[in-house]
Amino acid sequence: MVAEGKGSPDVRSVLVPLILVVWLPVGMMPPPAAGMAAGEPGNQAAPRLPASPRISAELRDLAIEDAAARLESILRVKVHVPPRLPAGGDAAPSRLAVAPPVPGNAPDLLDYERRGSFSWKDVPVADALREFCRHYRCSLGMDYRGNLTVSPIPLATGPTASAGDYQVRVEALNYTDSRSVDALGEFTARRNLSLQFAIRAVSAHVARIHSLENIRVEDQAGRDVLEKPAPGQLPGPAAPRAFPDERGQTVRLEWPYPRPERLRLIEGDLLLYRRVSLQQVEIAVPAPGQISDIVESGDVHCQLVQVDSSAEGLRVTLRLMCPAEMGVLLNAFPATAEIVLPKGQRVPMVVTGMGWGMSEGWKSMDFSLAVAGQKDVQGKLRLRFLRQERPDRRVHFRLTDFPYPLSPGLPASGGQSGGSQENARGSATGGGGK
């Protein structure tokens, strides 16, 4: 965060946003919320969910590498810009091709010479990042640790469909026809349509998003396919994205028909958690080499399964277990892990996702929590997270006449930019949108 005109961080107005790696200064953790079992019958007041992160900063006349470096220091996540090609290595050395150009296709290029200025005053981080992408004609990807990577592919701006308090947009569409004969002569044909969706929280909390399901597509001739998840299993959940107010999900549909020319219908249901509540637990930090007791918060079980102390500091592995249909957002903003020392001093921790697994209807998630400069810790780990329950609210969405052709030689029938053309509720027609 940069205070206007001073170029120094303004930590008061930053809620560090990005989903997986987070570092919070001392004192940023919100006070414990009253009524930690929010949403349970009988509770008269529901605690507020954490608000969307915001940013205030002034960036003046910067090329993309410098702007990314400033964002990195403000947001405290890595923002990787692919390096320029060495001089002489390309006809346009200030631009980068992400992949060798395929014959007939133009390469994707990043413009390193373009300069930009940004003035953000308490704007949502997601909006600031989108402005960054629009200006430099790029997009942002996020890895499992929460680090961001700049890609030369511009942000998708196709039509959006309204789904209650959310918007659903097709970010990318891939049609693949793969036919092969293996070494034993066996013939296989795999033909599928892959749709990459972005789900954006417009007027409700992003933590409510579970996934998209029942995705159904019709081509220009009315030939339809329907996504079929395994019986008894929920799809998704949708994955966090670079923009804190978004989730993403890719759906792949087997396509048994001749190659589609256009899609006249893309529809589905947005599945939402009916209940999202803020939880807090405290776990006594055991000695290195020991494991902690299990602390329960409703159906969420928390345990420190590994504690290592070295000259670099303390590192613990936290394991959260919950029923498979439940969600836990430990890394939601604001990041919420800190060590509370015996005298009450609070030391924030860096949280990194390590992986997850499923076993007998339970979901297990491991996180690495680290704090530098603290070796012999006698205290408590205070953890705050969002508990997501009952993913059973469905909101239908519908996109008609998707204007992008899937066959070579067909012209696009709709514009690729401009305002969205949404119907009153739950549907949109082609034509592009922001």
Distance CA 255, CA 223 (A): 10
Residue of 41, 42, 333 lying closest to 205 (CA atoms): 333
As measured in angstroms, the least distance from the Cβ of 218 to another protein is 8
Sites for another protein among residues 103-162 (CB under 8 A)? 103-106, 108, 153-159
218 binds another protein (CB under 8 A): yes
As measured in angstroms, the least distance from the Cβ of 171 to another protein is 7
Q: E strand or H helix at 379, and its extent?
A: none
Distance CA 241, CA 19 (A): 8
Sites for another protein among residues 256-275 (CB under 8 A)? 256-258, 269, 272, 274-275
Query: What DSSP letter does each residue of 271-320 carry, written as one string?
Result: EEEEEEEEEEEEEEPPPTT--PPPEEETTEEEEEEEEEEETTEEEEEEEE
Sites for another protein among residues 382-401 (CB under 8 A)? 392-395
3-class secondary structure, 425: coil
As measured in angstroms, the least distance from the Cβ of 28 to another protein is 18
As measured in angstroms, the least distance from the Cβ of 433 to another protein is 8
276 binds another protein (CB under 8 A): yes
417 binds another protein (CB under 8 A): yes
Q: Please pick, from the candidates 51, 98, 284, 354, the single residue that binds another protein as defined by CB under 8 A.
A: 51
Sites for another protein among residues 290-329 (CB under 8 A)? none
Q: Please pick, from the candidates 13, 85, 404, 421, the single residue that binds another protein as defined by CB under 8 A.
A: 404
Q: Which stretch binds another protein (CB under 8 A): 88-96, 250-258, 304-312, 316-324?
A: 250-258
Quick one: 78 or 394, whose CB is closer to another protein?
A: 394
As measured in angstroms, the least distance from the Cβ of 399 to another protein is 10
Distance CA 254, CA 100 (A): 29
92 binds another protein (CB under 8 A): no
230 binds another protein (CB under 8 A): no
As measured in angstroms, the least distance from the Cβ of 61 to another protein is 27
- Tell me the CA distances in angstroms from 399 to 72, 160, 192, one per residue in order: 36, 7, 19
Q: E strand or H helix at 136, and its extent?
A: helix 125-136
Quick one: 58 or 108, whose CB is closer to another protein?
A: 108
Q: Please pick, from the candidates 167, 249, 277, 279, the single residue that binds another protein as defined by CB under 8 A.
A: 277
As measured in angstroms, the least distance from the Cβ of 343 to another protein is 34
Residue of 286, 272, 393 lying closest to 327 (CA atoms): 272
> What is the residue type of 95?
R
Sites for another protein among residues 326-365 (CB under 8 A)? none
Quick one: 341 or 406, whose CB is closer to another protein?
A: 406
Sites for another protein among residues 12-31 (CB under 8 A)? none
As measured in angstroms, the least distance from the Cβ of 19 to another protein is 18
Q: E strand or H helix at 418, and its extent?
A: none
Distance CA 150, CA 82 (A): 7
As measured in angstroms, the least distance from the Cβ of 142 to another protein is 17
Q: Please pick, from the candidates 164, 236, 248, 379, the single residue that binds another protein as defined by CB under 8 A.
A: 164
Quick one: 125 or 285, whose CB is closer to another protein?
A: 125
Order of strands, edge to edge, in the sheet holding 313-323?
295-297, 300-310, 313-323, 362-372, 350-359
Distance CA 238, CA 217 (A): 19
Quick one: 106 or 311, whose CB is closer to another protein?
A: 106
Quick one: 158 or 348, whose CB is closer to another protein?
A: 158
Quick one: 72 or 131, whose CB is closer to another protein?
A: 131
32 binds another protein (CB under 8 A): no
Distance CA 96, CA 8 (A): 31
225 binds another protein (CB under 8 A): yes
Sites for another protein among residues 93-112 (CB under 8 A)? 102-106, 108
Lookup: tokens for 189:
């044909």
Is there a contact between 150 and 140 (Cβ–Cβ < 8 Å)?
yes
Residues 6+ apart with CB under 8 A from 127: none
Sites for another protein among residues 180-209 (CB under 8 A)? 180-185, 187, 189, 204-205, 208
Residue of 340, 201, 348, 337 lying closest to 276 (CA atoms): 201
CA dihedral 335, 341, 343, 344 (to 10 degrees): 20
As measured in angstroms, the least distance from the Cβ of 12 to another protein is 19
As measured in angstroms, the least distance from the Cβ of 84 to another protein is 17
CA angle 298, 299, 303 (to 5 degrees): 95
Distance CA 403, CA 401 (A): 6
